[in-house]
Structure 1
Amino acid sequence: MDYTKRIRDLREDSDYTQEYVASVLGISQTMYARYERGANELPIRHLIELCKLYKISADYILGLSDTK
């Protein structure tokens, strides 16, 4: 599974808006939307922040594990 689908699914399952997640990452909603679409690659620093936000491992987001 592609990480773009995983970050979108995590956000939707948590009932977060793109705007909220973007604010946690310190970026614009437009930039975050580009991550979810795959138009821009997710920087490692943002991957780490998403792991903290959702309390999951990076392996799950990257598709290396199906265990959150």
Structure 2
Amino acid sequence: MDGERLAEVRNRAGLTQAALAEMLGQSQSHYARYERGVHDPSSETLKKICLTLDVSPEYLLDMVDSSAIDPFGGAPLSEDEATLVSWYRRSTPEGRTVIQATAKAVAATASPLTSSGQSEAGIA
């Protein structure tokens, strides 16, 4: 694992080592070993890190140059979009419901998808 990349993504998410370690159920000193390159996380821990930080395992393993997970087939997420997704994924189920309702309300008032003639089929 590339510890420098892990630290970069964690910092971009606005988390301290201690905060991320707590989310992973680990001590800060144990987590810090990942960033120092002393120890690699288990596959389960790597999965948790990727989901929490919204980053691909390939990026953390230094297999690709882009950190963005690309669910849109070639259109990488902007930094703002990645931040929103990260906040959503770190939210409680109740928080996610609020985020979804807010996004639907905003999209209903001025959706660039409908104004450009595209379908909203992908929006739940």
Q: What does residue 10 of structure 1 align with?
A: 9
Structure 1 SS opposite 2:6: helix
Deviation of 1:33 after TM superposition, in Å, equals 0.7
1:50 equivalent in alignment to 2:49 = yes
Return the structure number with greater relative CO, CA threshold 8 A, min gap 6: 1
SS of the residue corresponding to residue 63 of structure 2 reads: coil
* In 1, Cα distance between equivalents of 2:2 and 2:11: 14
Q: If you compute each CA radius of gyration, which structure gives the higher value, 1 or 2?
A: 2
CA displacement 1:1-40 (0-9 Å, x = unmatched): x611111111111120101110111100000011111111
Query: Structure 1: which 4+ aligned runs deviate by more than 3 Å?
Result: none
Instruction: Show structure 2 runs of 5+ residues with no match.
Output: 69-124
Q: Once the 2 structures are TM-superposed, how far is the Cα of residue 56 of structure 1 from its aligned partner? A: 2.1
Corresponding position of 1:41: 40
Q: In the comparison of the two structures, how many residue pairs are matched?
A: 67
The amino acid that maps onto 1:15 is G
Structure 1 distance, partners of 2:53, 2:40, is 19
Q: TM-score, normalised by structure 1?
A: 0.87
TM-score relative to the length of structure 2: 0.50
**In 2, Cα distance between the equivalents of 1:56 and 1:37?**
19
